[in-house]
Amino acid sequence: MNHLNRRQFLGSTVLGGAMLGSVAMAGGLSGLAKAASPNERVIIGMVGMSRGRELASNYARNEHCTIKYVCDTDVQRAEAAAGALNDEFSIEPEFLTDFRRILDDQEVDAVVLALPVHWHGPATILACQAGKHVYVEKPCCHNPNEGELMIAAARKHNRLVQMGNQRRSSEIINEAIDKLHNGIIGRTYYARCSFARFRGSIGIGEEVPVPENLDYDMWQGPAPRRAYKSNVIHYNWHWLWHWGTGEIGNNGTHVLDIARWGLDVDYPTKVTASGGRFRFQDDQETPDNHMATYMFPDDKMITWGGTSSNHPGPYSGFGITFYGEEGNMTIGGANYRALNNSNETIAEGSGNRGDAEHINKFIDAVRNEDRTILTSEIEEGHKSTLLPHLGNIAYRVGHSLECGEKGHILNDREAAALWQREYEPGWEPSV
């Protein structure tokens, strides 16, 4: 089922990268997929059948797109996803384990990437080089350097790239942000973000044989090779620095994005963080309790407080509270409530979090070849993803970061070394 052995995989990877690079160097998109016209259906390839399986259902409901492929390095998950789409929507996508075959298909207009985070940046860059538009899940990249390369790739190849922070397309969240920007609580200067969820221990993994249904070389892709362990795939990679970005990257991207949006700020000037692994003694490397503070120009501040090992208690497990001179506003997953300084409700509302709407915006942008339709274009997505990255870097080095232009770390060699990562030879992303 489209499996490659290690030697074939690495050889074809280097060759494929060189071929895509030569296309990019040649300039233009001759022979590559173009955006569908407004009268045509957008042909989609779905990659990553965990979150991607949920996304696929929303894409299948959009009358202007066709899902031609579903892909996962676990062939059982790919086949199951194809079967589920057939059962629910009577469509028969081809299922694959190597997403590069989707890039080779000139009929495909766009790819949807819902992969482990270490794949998001490199896969997006390869897709742009192959002439595909990209919907990439949050966080959009594994490290800040990849985010900057993704922006450069989108610009160089004139591709539409949207990050999957769906609340940017939620009508109710947009209503709340509009009220903030129009001064419902006066000058707003502080946003406090919180997230809590009970996750159990990941235990101590053992090196075991790779399951036959998994193409582990392809799963690792751009990351330097490590032995297969029993407690990493399919989810616990989130909590290991080699693959993931911890809870602040996983769910913090959502709340920090809304906070940045509401305060109307871009890049921080100073970042501090603290936390640790307090609950379980296991293989997890990222903190299960994490606090981060971000200072911005014009005396504005965002804080993040996240826990992965406890239920939220009487308060919401997901929320952002904005504080202004005339009151406060709290935004939840799909609701908001504003109070004045007398603690009286002055506005509130509820709706949905914008999953389908976010996808529909992407499809509309592709059909109309119009970047302005996107509600979280990759440059905005990178700004919001950078906040979790900087919070992680400050935590890992154990001291505050001073940031300059576009959030770059100043005068700190130890912290600046974490701006990027090492790659498996032949997989280094470039634009």
**Tens digits of per-residue pLDDT, 181-201?**
999 999 999 999 999 999 999
pLDDT at 6: 32
Task: Let me know whether 399 and 282 are in one domain.
Answer: yes
Residue 303 within any structural domain of the chain: yes
Residue 426 within any structural domain of the chain: no
Question: What is the Cα–Cα distance from 325 to 255, expressed in whole angstroms?
Answer: 22
Identify whether the C-beta of residue 175 lies closer than 8 Å to the C-beta of residue 201: no
Task: Let me know whether 237 and 313 are in one domain.
Answer: yes
Instruction: Measure CA 354 to chain center.
Output: 16
- In sequence order, which residues have a C-beta less than 8 Å from that of residue 17 and are 6 or more positions away? 126, 426, 427
Token pair recorded at residue 81: 């996803």
Task: Let me know whether 228 and 306 are in one domain.
Answer: yes
Residue 21 within any structural domain of the chain: yes
Task: Let me know whether 223 and 369 are in one domain.
Answer: no
Nearest to residue 184, comparing CAs of 350, 299, 324? 324
Task: Let me know whether 191 and 333 are in one domain.
Answer: yes
Range of the domain at 61: 6-168+358-376
Question: For the chain, what is the domain count?
Answer: 2
pLDDT at 23: 34
Residue 431 within any structural domain of the chain: no
Question: What is the Cα–Cα distance from 101 to 115, expressed in whole angstroms?
Answer: 16
Residue 23 within any structural domain of the chain: yes
Residue 430 within any structural domain of the chain: no
The torsion of the CA quartet 112, 114, 120, 123, rounded to 10 degrees, works out to: -40
| CATH number (domain holding residue 145) | 3.40.50.720
| CATH number (domain holding residue 253) | 3.30.360.10
Residue 153 within any structural domain of the chain: yes
Task: Let me know whether 141 and 186 are in one domain.
Answer: no
pLDDT at 151: 98
Burial readout 140-169 (b: 16 or more C-beta within 10 A, e: otherwise)? bbbbbbbbbbbbebbeebebbbbbbbbbbb
Number of residues written out for the chain: 431
- What letter represents residue 322's amino acid? F
pLDDT at 292: 98
- In sequence order, which residues have a C-beta less than 8 Å from that of residue 122 and are 6 or more positions away? 146, 221, 222, 423, 427, 429
Task: Let me know whether 176 and 240 are in one domain.
Answer: yes
Task: Let me know whether 364 and 394 are in one domain.
Answer: no
Task: Let me know whether 178 and 292 are in one domain.
Answer: yes
Residues (pLDDT < 50) of the chain are 1-33, 35
Residue 317 within any structural domain of the chain: yes
**Tens digits of per-residue pLDDT, 288-323?**
999 999 999 999 999 999 999 998 877 679 999 999
pLDDT at 313: 79
Task: Let me know whether 27 and 135 are in one domain.
Answer: yes
Task: Let me know whether 62 and 112 are in one domain.
Answer: yes
Task: Let me know whether 163 and 177 are in one domain.
Answer: no
